[in-house]
Copies of this chain bind each other. A is one copy, B any other.
Amino acid sequence: MTLRDRHIVLIEDDEIMGASLVQRLELEGAVVTWVKQMARGIPAVRTPRRPVDAAVCDIRLPDGSGEELFAELCRTTTPPPFLFITGQGDIDQAVRLLHAGAADYLTKPFDTADFLDRLQKIIRTDGEGEFPAETGITPAARHVDEMAREFAKGDEPVLIRAARGLGKAGLARRMHRESDRSAAPFVILDEGRERDDAAALARAIEAAGEGTLYIPGLDSLSEAAQAVLVTAVRGGAPCALIATLGPEGDDGAAPADVRDDLLSVLLAREIVIPPLQDRPDDAVWLATQFFQTLNARRPTPLRGISAHAAAALRAHDWPGNGRELRARMTRAVDAATGEWLMPGDIFPEMIAESERFATLAEAREAAERRHILAALSRTEGHVGQAARILRISRTTLWEKMQRLGLSEDDD
């Protein structure tokens, strides 16, 4: 995996070079926003439709230079990593840009492999820590782990219920490792459901042998597949079953799409992982685990998580649970500039509004973006109709969609 799902903004006016780079980057799984002018690059980077992982920017542009674009962005925001490409290398310029915070500077023609390698390096795809082997340190978390250990000793099916981002799969793996069947396979029923899921399930049961079969989102199985499962459970299939429910079945309500007999078997051995919001001390503990891994990689390690940051971690409601926490810690440890990790490092949205006041042009642009999107939504994407209700010409709407990064290429 290289650039999968990474968002790259490409600022390049040359059609051939641009198309070539887009193609290559998309081959690596990246999502590319391609703009051809400096004027269009600024909003594409500053107010993107999705977070920008990196920008690839030509120096010579028809309406200015990549250097000016970067300077402008540095004045008003913290730009993502910038990789500059240029047909005529200039040492002074390279030094200037790198000192200004650019990530890299490459002269054309360049080796594509080298280009991709540098891009990967500046994106830091492997900068995130691993989830620890425990659920947490709170009584509720310890209870989860105890039940998991106890159920791992038996053969009966187990149901794990938890919201998104709470490590259901991780817990299932740990149960497998702590059971007598750890030498046998741990098989996950493919979430990308085949049309004939009953057959897929039968195959997975066979593949698991005497190991463990993990079924995420059991309530989306067809009746036929559930019948196969009931047969396997009743017929004493050699493998152990661990299942989870889909998002709707994980909220404590009885899932609508599971056979009653199957459900009653599962509910007999059920593990409920409480959301992180209900376990603030676990949030701090988990943050500390990630911090130790990430901090060890810093050129200048931080001294620790400050008390205020710990309080902020406790107070946050963690809609994304552990995944959110990991993402925030990764970013925070990377961005921290003091000796201690501060609340603003973890929750940058907390301070951004109070310290930074958007320019009038920015406020205007944001309002236009919102309103244009609303018009397009109302007209179901029909550009001509949207222009009509907005009382602007179609040309103007098109121009603004380019300028504000709302064009089709962003999909």
Chain B residues contacting A390 (CB-CB under 8 Å) are 357, 359-360
A371 touches B363 (CB 8 A): yes
A234 sits at the interface (CB 8 A): no
Separation of A372 and B359 alpha carbons in the complex (Å): 10
| CB-contact partner of A391 in B360, B374, B375, B392, under 8 A | B360
Chain B residues contacting A392 (CB-CB under 8 Å) are 359-361
A63 sits at the interface (CB 8 A): no
| Residue from A361, A370, A374, A391 whose CB has the most chain B CB atoms within 10 Å | A391
A134 sits at the interface (CB 8 A): no
A358 sits at the interface (CB 8 A): yes
A364 touches B361 (CB 8 A): no
B360 touches A371 (CB 8 A): yes
A307 sits at the interface (CB 8 A): no
A98 sits at the interface (CB 8 A): no
Cβ-closest chain B residue relative to A379? B357
A150 sits at the interface (CB 8 A): no
The 0/1 profile, CB within 8 Å of B marked 1, for residues 370-385 of chain A is: 1110110010000000
CB distance from A309 to the nearest CB of B (A): 27
CB distance from A406 to the nearest CB of B (A): 13
| CB-contact partner of A358 in B357, B361, B363, B371, under 8 A | B371
Cβ-closest chain B residue relative to A396? B360
Separation of A374 and B372 alpha carbons in the complex (Å): 23
Chain B residues contacting A367 (CB-CB under 8 Å) are 363-364, 366-368
Main secondary structure of the interface of A (DSSP, over half): helix
A389 sits at the interface (CB 8 A): yes
CB distance from A386 to the nearest CB of B (A): 10
B357 touches A363 (CB 8 A): no
CB distance from A64 to the nearest CB of B (A): 19
Separation of A389 and B391 alpha carbons in the complex (Å): 31
Chain B residues contacting A359 (CB-CB under 8 Å) are 389-392
Chain B residues contacting A360 (CB-CB under 8 Å) are 368, 371-372, 375, 390-392
CB distance from A233 to the nearest CB of B (A): 52
Separation of A15 and B372 alpha carbons in the complex (Å): 41
The 0/1 profile, CB within 8 Å of B marked 1, for residues 332-375 of chain A is: 00000000000000000000000001111101101110111011
Separation of A188 and B390 alpha carbons in the complex (Å): 55
Chain B residues contacting A372 (CB-CB under 8 Å) are 360
Cβ-closest chain B residue relative to A356? B389
Q: A360-B371, A363-B370 are in contact. List 17 more A-B contacts (CB 8 A).
A: A357-B375, A357-B378, A357-B390, A359-B390, A359-B391, A360-B368, A360-B372, A360-B375, A360-B392, A363-B367, A363-B371, A364-B364, A364-B367, A364-B368, A364-B371, A366-B367, A367-B367
Name the 3 nearest CB pairs between A and B, nearest first: A367-B367, A359-B391, A363-B371
Could you give 29 example pairs across A and B, Cβ below 8 Å?
Answer: A357-B374, A357-B375, A357-B378, A357-B389, A357-B390, A358-B371, A359-B389, A359-B390, A359-B391, A359-B392, A360-B368, A360-B371, A360-B372, A360-B375, A360-B390, A360-B391, A360-B392, A361-B391, A361-B392, A363-B368, A363-B370, A363-B371, A364-B364, A364-B367, A364-B368, A364-B371, A366-B367, A367-B367, A367-B368
Residues of A within 8 A of B (CB): 357-361, 363-364, 366-368, 370-372, 374-375, 378, 389-392
